[in-house]
Amino acid sequence: MNAKTVIIGLDGVPYAMIKDFAASGVMPNTARLIDGGFFSPMRSSMPEISNVAWSSMITGKNPAEHGIFGFMELHPNSYRMRFPNYNDLKAPPFWETCQGKSVIINVPSTYPVRGANGVLISGFVSIDLNKSVYPPSLIPTLKEFDYRLDVDAQKAHKSMDLFLEDVEQTLQARIRAARHLWNYCDWQTFMLVFTGTDRLLHFLYDAYEDPNHPHHAAFVDHFRTIDGVVGEIAARLGESDRLIMHSDHGFERLDYDVFVNHLLAEKGYLHFKTGQDAIIENICFGTKAFALDPARIYLNYKGRYPCGTVEAAEAEAVLRDLESLFAALEIEGRKVIRSIHRKQDVYSGPYMDDAPDLLLIADHGFNLKGKAASDRLYSKGIFTGKHTYDTAFLLAANCDTSRLPAPPAVSDITRLFT
């Protein structure tokens, strides 16, 4: 009998938080795994957002190989947005290439569902349960469990109490479904992703940091519950079975959202059609560069876009100008952008043409946004936490970690079990 592999994903959870909760007794089961296993900070994908990071994790590839660069893309030869999904993933996820059956629950960027050798329940951004479950015969059972595809984050904009209630109910339903599938399915690989963590971190990072925050207890309890599941799973594993826990990106406190397109427009790199809203769809000739969320910078190449302006021969000069612009950006005396990357330095593969020309990594506290139509360079909204690139975590028990680079990246995880 081959060793089984169990993967528990904790969307957005930073290394330091796991370390903190393990030490303080909130996550005792996780602490035991850390003691006997490999525990390290981990790099996310570029950009450090869930659908890119999870696509990288499940394929073991970089975006220029799997084709997912962000939550939104533009239609060819146009400025119209579209939302890439599972059908756009150009490399197979590990469960389609490895031997044996698998149960895969709530991995982001796997909607709409497609057939698998085993069970697959799609994660964020899933819309319709009927298109999220394989095999479909499981749908009635999941409905009985009150299974929810995702927390309704809009609730957080209205009432934090309602939001927390939804977070808790979604977590409990996810656990019920996971227990059922664990017991009643035959599997070699079992993967369960918790995404409520990321939602909590977006809205209540301040509650984590401040023990007097009214929602501090709810925040901590969420992690305590998850640790309970970790304990349940660890207790049921055989001696040679692998257990992997990891996040897809990290989190830290958010000071300011910074709107990259606002900067580009202000400095004359980005122009919108007269009298129309300052949104990507309304880009006009004269535009040299624009950003798609979070900080993917695209040159507005002639021939590639309807209002393309940049000639191939001037691209290098534009890139250099942009690099100095971004490198010099300061807000309240603090440097905003920690590092600037050209696409050929971070990506390689057949989908290079679709890659952004520049990628920006923000410095502490700054959250780079590709949203257009912002009337200011920076602001503070409802969110208190922001994603980070280099502070995700990887915890591996019973795995051969000798093939991991130091520090590992999210696209290296499949090396542990395939």
Partner 1 sequence: MNRTLTHLDKLEDQSIFIIREAYSQFRDVAMLWSIGKDSTCLLWLMRKAFFGNLPFPVLHIDTSYKFKEIYQFRDMYAKEWNLNLIVARNEDALAGGLGPDKGKFRCCNELKTIALKQAIAKQKFKALYLGIRRDEHGIRAKERVFSPRDEDFEWDYKNQPPELWDQYKTKAAEEEHLRIHPLLGWREIDVWEYVKRENIPVTSLYFASKGRRFRSIGCESCCGPVDSEADTIDRIIDELRTTKVSERSGRAQDKESDYMMQKLRSLGYM
**Residues at the interface with partner 1 (CB under 8 A):** 49, 71-72, 75-77, 79-83, 124-125, 127-128, 150, 152-154, 156-157, 199, 202, 257, 268, 271, 273-277, 279, 281-282, 284-286, 293-294, 302-303, 306-309, 367, 369, 371, 381, 383
Sole window of 191-199, 304-312, 333-341, 401-409 interacting with Zn ion (rule: CB under 5 A): 191-199
Does 198 engage in binding with Zn ion (CB under 5 A)?
Answer: yes
Strand ranges across the sheet with 289-292: 289-292, 296-299, 358-362, 337-342
Distance between CA atoms of 290 and 353, rounded to whole angstroms? Answer: 16
* Cα radius of gyration (the chain): 22
75 binds, among Zn ion, partner 1, none (CB under 5 to 8 A by kind): partner 1
The residue among 26 and 53 lying less far from Zn ion, judged by its C-beta, is 53
SS percent in the chain: helix, strand, coil, step 5 = 40, 20, 40
Instruction: Give me the least distance between CB of 330 and Zn ion, in Å please.
Output: 26
The interface partner of residue 369, options being Zn ion, partner 1, none and the CB cut-off 5 to 8 Å by kind, is partner 1
Which is closer to Zn ion, CB of 309 or CB of 384? Answer: 384
Residue 346: CB minimum distance to partner 1, A: 21
From Zn ion, partner 1, none, which one binds at residue 183 (CB under 5 to 8 Å depending on kind)? none
Closest among 2, 21, 18 to 10, alpha carbons compared: 18
225, 28 Cβ separation under 8 angstroms:
no
383 touches which of partner 1, Zn ion, none (CB within 5 to 8 A by kind)?
partner 1
DSSP state at residue 415? G
Count of residues that bind Zn ion according to CB under 5 A = 1
Instruction: State the nearest-atom distance from the C-beta of 356 to partner 1, in Å.
Output: 16
- Compare residues 82 and 376 and give the one whose CB is closer to partner 1: 82
Report the half-sphere exposure of 344 (CA within 13 A, side-chain side).
1
Rounded Cα distance, 266 and 166, in Å: 40
Contact of residue 179 among partner 1, Zn ion, none (CB under 5-8 Å per partner type): none
Q: Judged by CB, which is closer to partner 1: 185, or 315? A: 315
CB nearer partner 1, residue 181 or residue 368: 368
CA distance 162 to 250: 25
Q: CB of 191: closest distance to partner 1 in angstroms?
A: 22
CA distance 126 to 130: 10
Which residue's CB is nearer to partner 1, number 243 or number 310?
310
Q: At what angle do helices 196-209 and 216-235 cross, to 10 degrees?
A: 130
Q: How far is the CB of 151 from Zn ion (least distance, A)?
A: 11
Q: How far is the CB of 77 from partner 1 (least distance, A)?
A: 5
Q: Which is nearer to Zn ion, 37 or 47 (CB)?
A: 47
Instruction: Give which of partner 1, Zn ion, none residue 275 binds (C-beta under 5 to 8 Å, depending on kind).
Output: partner 1
Q: Give the list of residues 6+ apart from residue 275 with CB closer than 8 angstroms, or none.
A: none
377 binds, among partner 1, Zn ion, none (CB under 5 to 8 A by kind): none
Q: Which residues contact 198 (CB under 8 A, 6 or more apart)?
A: 11, 12, 13, 50, 251
CB of 305 to partner 1, least distance (A): 9
In whole angstroms, the minimum distance from the beta carbon of 203 to partner 1 comes to 9
Q: State yes or no: residue 150 binds Zn ion (CB under 5 A).
A: no
> Least distance to partner 1 from the beta carbon of 133, Å?
16
Per-residue burial over 143-168, b if 16 or more Cβ lie within 10 Å, else e, is eebebbbbbeeebbeeebeebbebbb
Q: Indicate the residue among 188 and 384 with the shorter CB distance to partner 1.
A: 384
Regarding 252 and contact with Zn ion (CB under 5 A), the answer is no
**Distance in angstroms between the alpha carbons of the first and the last residue of the chain:** 16
Distance between CA atoms of 184 and 164, rounded to whole angstroms? Answer: 30
Residue 198 C-beta: closest distance to Zn ion, Å:
4
Which runs of consecutive H residues, i.e. helices, occur in 25-73? 28-36, 50-59, 63-66
Q: Are 36 and 22 in contact (CB under 8 A)?
A: no
Identify which of residues 156 and 244 has a Cβ nearer to partner 1 in the complex.
156
Binding site for Zn ion (CB under 5 A): 198
